[in-house]
Amino acid sequence: MSHLQHVDSQRPIVKCILVVEDDPILGDILLEALQWEATYQGILVPSGEMALSILQTITPALFLLDYHLPGMNGLELADQLRRREGCKQRPILLMSASLPRENGAMDDLITLQKPFDLEKLLQLIAELLAS
């Protein structure tokens, strides 16, 4: 048994990041960027509804949401995630080229203006997951 514990301690803990992005090209770029970091496992879904249904099987360490999504938008999804047990304390990053400024729901969200630098995104994710 002690041998197994030793082997496991050598492997970094992989943190799951749920990416909700309906643009497949950008989605693939984000997943690729996350794979550069050995400690992240990105999972891509194209809608808020799919994000909520996949939460039955996974508990992400962080949510990376596009604002403009089919069906519910990223803000509405963030609101649902905050009410969900197990997701309340998880960081939520909202990305968009145009975010509504007047909305009070934005106050406790971390926002990222599109287009953004992938290095900056990875640094931000690392900071959020370290705290």
Q: Is the pLDDT of residue 56 over 70?
A: yes
Residue with tokens 């106050």: 107
Domain boundaries, the chain: 13-130
Tokens of 91: 């960081």
Q: Is the pLDDT of residue 88 over 70?
A: yes
Q: Is the pLDDT of residue 77 over 50?
A: yes
pTM comes to 0.86
Which pairing describes strands 15-20 and 62-66: parallel, antiparallel, or unpaired?
Answer: parallel
> What pLDDT, on the 0 to 100 scale, is given for residue 7?
47
Instruction: Count other C-beta atoms under 10 Å from residue 77's C-beta.
Output: 24
CATH number of the structural domain 13-130? 3.40.50.2300
Average the pLDDT over 63-72 and give the result: 94
Question: Please, what's the largest Cα pairwise distance for the chain?
Answer: 56
| Pick from 36-50, 67-81, 91-105: least confident | 91-105
pLDDT tens-digit readout, 98-121: 776 655 556 667 888 888 899 999
pLDDT tens-digit readout, 2-26: 444 444 455 567 899 999 999 999 9
